Amino acid sequence: MRERVTADPFAFDPFSSPCCRVALLGFGTVGSAVARRLTTLDSDRAPAIRLTHVLDRRAEEKRRHTPLAGVAWTTEIADVLQSDADVVVEAIGGVDPAVEWIRAALAAGKSVVTANKQAIARHGAPLLALAARQGRQLRFEAAVGGAIPIVRAIGDGLAGDRITRIDAILNATTNAVLSLVEETGCSIDCAVRAAQALGYAEADPSADLDGDDARAKLAILCALAFGLRVDPSQIPAQSTASIDGADIARARARGAAIRQIAHADFDRATSTLTAWVAPIEVPRESIFGRATGPQNAAIVAGEHSGETGIFGVGAGGDATAVAILSDIAAIARDKAAVVPAPVLDSAFHIPHSSFQIPVAEAV
Ligand code: HSE
């Protein structure tokens, strides 16, 4: 018996799989990394996934700087909506106009892949409902944890369990800052500038240090793990900006490290969600203490599976592009065999009073 073996997960048989056309919104750190991967996937065969359109507000300048063969550049969302693209990748970030454009793309019959944690945390449920009505997919693996497949792990891989608790490092910038200060003794400001230069930080890095970024990601994980719709602004957050080199050195002397931890546990018996984001001391030899630079880590506890750990690079163009390409591949494969996207449930609205922060544990 002769079997056709393809080692490259993107190398669909071009004769049996229709080509999947991709339009990209945003050509910044993440968007340009996605474009680079999509245009170098499978150079010697007919590609099964093809980048056809790039939208960027500085399209002309970026096109001159990075010419991409066979790609149409535009500044107009209408050009993308009216195009023959099957999948729209949203890599512009922020809520406005990203949410409106995701909605418009789904309404125009496209599937959407996004790295946008704020859009999914705040508007994920209605957008997923729209995608389902349209018979299209909305995938968001890149919105949480960069390259680590935590959305699939919780929304799909552990779907057979009842998840009770999540502890995680979800912000790569803060982790890179804390570990750089720990390793070199440099100032927090200097470490933040290094993270910005490497493309990890948000446009305003206070969103990283103050916990807004991790709150949005934790809200998404709460939806996937517990079926709860949580407003990220309801999750208490303590800023890491108040941590200094002396705090870090003291922790180090105790065999500990300071990490920004996002925690959520859900008591189903009392319908109580406890969730917070705060810099806390963790044992240096734990999965969290060993996460350095832009790494993220998570321990997910389930009633039947016990603890499952996941660890890897949580930000940066190349790492985030991996998650986006994985989502595109899942959608492209879906043309032959349906793989449903993870579902954000909206069963509960949690009253503000049910959030707790264990003050004793916070630094
Ligand atoms: N600023 C974010 C972080 C980018 O540092 O984790 C990835 O979501």
CB of 238 closer than 6 A to ligand 1?
Answer: no
User: Does 360 score more than 80 pLDDT?
Assistant: no
Distance CA 321, CA 327 (A): 10
Looking at 62, 110, 117, 217, which residue is catalytic?
A: 217
What number of other Cβ atoms are within 10 A of residue 217's Cβ?
27
Distance CA 287, CA 109 (A): 42
Q: Which two tokens stand for residue 196?
A: 């910005």
Nearest residue (by CA) to ligand 1, atom 7, is 315
236 and 268 together in one domain = yes
| C-alpha 41 – ligand 1 centre gap (Å) | 25
**Which three-class secondary structure state does DSSP give residue 309?**
strand
Active site residue 117: no
Is residue 25 a part of any domain in this protein?
yes
Model confidence pLDDT, tens digit, residues 18-68? 789 999 999 999 999 999 999 987 644 445 899 999 999 999 999 999 999
138-139/295-302 β-pairing: unpaired
Of 141, 202, 212, the one to substitute when testing ligand 1's pocket (max ligand atoms within 8 A of C-beta) is: 202
Model confidence pLDDT, tens digit, residues 301-359? 999 999 999 999 999 999 999 999 999 999 988 764 334 455 565 544 444 444 454 43
163 and 118 together in one domain = no
Alpha-carbon separation of residue 65 from 19, 72, 78 (angstroms): 27, 14, 24
Residue-range definition of the domain harbouring residue 249? 150-314+344-361
154 and 82 together in one domain = no
Is residue 338 a part of any domain in this protein?
no
| C-alpha 338 – ligand 1 centre gap (Å) | 31
| C-alpha 121 – ligand 1 centre gap (Å) | 14
Could you tell me where the beta strands, DSSP code E, fall in 79-123? 87-90, 111-114
Q: Which atom of ligand 1 is nearest to the CA of 176?
A: 5
Is residue 173 a part of any domain in this protein?
yes
Number of compact structural domains in the chain: 2
140 and 219 together in one domain = no
| Banded pLDDT at 148 (limits 50, 70, 90) | very high
Residues 215, 226 contacting (CB under 8 angstroms): no
Backbone angles phi, psi at 170, to 5 degrees: -115, -5
CATH of the domain at 95: 3.40.50.720
Q: Which atom of ligand 1 is nearest to the CA of 171?
A: 6
Is residue 204 a part of any domain in this protein?
yes
69 and 168 together in one domain = no
Q: Which atom of ligand 1 is nearest to the CA of 320?
A: 7
Distance CA 190, CA 177 (A): 9
Model confidence pLDDT, tens digit, residues 209-240? 999 999 999 999 999 999 999 999 999 999 99
Q: Which of 153-162, 189-198, 325-334, 339-348 has the highest mean pLDDT?
A: 153-162
- Helices first, then strands: H and E counts in the chain: 12, 13
